[in-house]
Amino acid sequence: MKFKKMFALMASTVLCVGMLAGCGGSTTATSSAAGSTASGSSSAKKVIGFAQVGAESGWRTAETDSIKTIPTLDPNIDLKFSDGQQKQENQIKAIRSFIAQKVDIIALDPVVETGWDTVLKEAKDAKIPVVIVDRKVTVSDESLYKCFLGSDMVEEGKKAAQVIIDKFGKDAQLNIAELQGTVGSTAMVGRQQGFNDTIKDCKNYKIIKSQTGDFTRAKGKEVMEAFLKSDGDKINVLWAHNDDMAVGAVQAIEEYGKKPGQDIFIVSVDGIKDMFELMAAGKSNAIIECNPLLGPQLLEVSKNILDGKEVERSIKSKESQFLQKDAATELPNRKY
Ligand code: AHR
Q: Is residue 185 part of a domain?
A: yes
Say whether 269 sits in a helix, a strand or coil. strand
Q: Is residue 237 part of a domain?
A: yes
Range of the domain at 124: 45-149+293-316
Q: Is the CB of 56 under 6 A from ligand 1?
A: yes
Q: Is the CB of 291 under 6 A from ligand 1?
A: no
Mean pLDDT over 95-120 rounds to 98
| The residue count for the chain | 336
Mean pLDDT over 122-127 rounds to 98
Percent of the chain with pLDDT over 70: 87
Q: Is the CB of 63 under 6 A from ligand 1?
A: no
pTM above 0.75, yes or no: yes
Give me the pLDDT at residue 35, please. Answer: 45
**Cα–Cα distance measured from residue 54 to residue 258, given in angstroms and rounded to the nearest whole number:** 33
Q: Containing H/E element for 298? A: helix 295-306
> Residue 91: which CATH number?
3.40.50.2300
The number of distinct structural domains making up the chain is: 2
**Cα–Cα distance measured from residue 239 to residue 220, given in angstroms and rounded to the nearest whole number:** 11
121 and 218: one domain?
Answer: no
- Ligand 1: nearest atom to the Cα of 244: 8
Residue type, 78: D
Pairing, β 105-108 against β 147-150: unpaired
221 and 99: one domain?
Answer: no
Write the CB contacts of 279 (distance below 8 Å, at least 6 apart in sequence).
261, 285, 286, 287, 322, 324, 327
138 and 49: one domain?
Answer: yes
**pLDDT category, 43, cuts 50, 70, 90?**
low
Q: Are the beta carbons of 63 and 294 closer than 8 angstroms? A: yes
- Ligand 1: nearest atom to the Cα of 292: 2
**CA of 6 relative to ligand 1 center, distance in Å:** 58
244 and 232: one domain?
Answer: yes
278 and 157: one domain?
Answer: yes
**Cα–Cα distance measured from residue 265 to residue 283, given in angstroms and rounded to the nearest whole number:** 9
Say which DSSP state 138 is in: -
220 and 285: one domain?
Answer: yes
- Ligand 1: nearest atom to the Cα of 59: 8
**pLDDT category, 72, cuts 50, 70, 90?**
very high
Q: Is residue 27 part of a domain?
A: no
Q: Are the beta carbons of 220 and 245 closer than 8 angstroms? A: yes
Sheet containing strand 265-270, strands side by side: 205-212, 174-180, 237-240, 265-270, 286-289, 321-323
Q: Is residue 29 part of a domain?
A: no
Q: Is the CB of 146 under 6 A from ligand 1?
A: no
Q: Is the CB of 57 under 6 A from ligand 1?
A: yes
**CA of 283 relative to ligand 1 center, distance in Å:** 21
**Cα–Cα distance measured from residue 203 to residue 227, given in angstroms and rounded to the nearest whole number:** 22
Residue 87: which of 117, 106, 111 has the closest Cα? 111
Say whether 117 sits in a helix, a strand or coil. helix
Report the Cα 320 to chain-centroid distance in Å. 17
Q: Which residue has the higher pLDDT, 71 or 22?
A: 71
286 and 181: one domain?
Answer: yes
Write the CB contacts of 207 (distance below 8 Å, at least 6 apart in sequence).
176, 177, 178, 196, 239
**CA of 59 relative to ligand 1 center, distance in Å:** 6
**Cα–Cα distance measured from residue 293 to residue 296, given in angstroms and rounded to the nearest whole number:** 8
Q: Is residue 10 part of a domain?
A: no
**CA of 187 relative to ligand 1 center, distance in Å:** 6
**CA of 185 relative to ligand 1 center, distance in Å:** 9
258 and 159: one domain?
Answer: yes
Tens of pLDDT, residues 206-234:
999 999 999 999 999 999 999 999 999 99
**pLDDT category, 319, cuts 50, 70, 90?**
confident
**CA of 36 relative to ligand 1 center, distance in Å:** 25
Say yes or no to pLDDT of 284 above 70: yes
279 and 219: one domain?
Answer: yes
Q: Is residue 6 part of a domain?
A: no
CB atoms within 10 A of CB 100: 10
Q: Containing H/E element for 278? A: helix 273-280
Best residue among 192, 269, 270, 288 to mutate for probing ligand 1's pocket (most ligand atoms within 8 Å of CB) is 270
**Cα–Cα distance measured from residue 165 to residue 172, given in angstroms and rounded to the nearest whole number:** 9
Q: Is residue 26 part of a domain?
A: no
Report the Cα 70 to chain-centroid distance in Å. 16
Pairing, β 265-270 against β 286-289: parallel
**CA of 292 relative to ligand 1 center, distance in Å:** 8
Q: Is the CB of 191 under 6 A from ligand 1?
A: no
Tens of pLDDT, residues 234-280:
999 999 999 999 999 999 999 999 999 999 999 999 999 999 999 99
Mean pLDDT over 188-205 rounds to 98
Q: Are the beta carbons of 279 and 330 closer than 8 angstroms? A: no
- Ligand 1: nearest atom to the Cα of 215: 10
Residue 290: which of 139, 151, 161 has the closest Cα? 151
184 and 230: one domain?
Answer: yes
Q: Is the CB of 270 under 6 A from ligand 1?
A: yes
185 and 107: one domain?
Answer: no
258 and 299: one domain?
Answer: no
- 3-state SS, 163-191, equals HHHHHHCCCCCEEEEEEECCCCCHHHHHH
- Ligand 1: nearest atom to the Cα of 54: 10
Sheet containing strand 46-52, strands side by side: 77-83, 46-52, 105-108, 130-133, 147-150, 314-316
- Ligand 1: nearest atom to the Cα of 58: 8
Tens of pLDDT, residues 8-40:
444 433 333 333 233 233 333 333 333 443 333
Tens of pLDDT, residues 144-182:
999 999 999 999 999 999 999 999 999 999 999 999 999
6-10, 47-51, 240-244, 314-318: least confidently modelled range: 6-10
Mean pLDDT of the chain: 90
Q: Are the beta carbons of 56 and 292 closer than 8 angstroms? A: no
Q: Are the beta carbons of 184 and 151 closer than 8 angstroms? A: no
Q: Is the CB of 267 under 6 A from ligand 1?
A: no
**CA of 234 relative to ligand 1 center, distance in Å:** 28
Q: Is residue 164 part of a domain?
A: yes
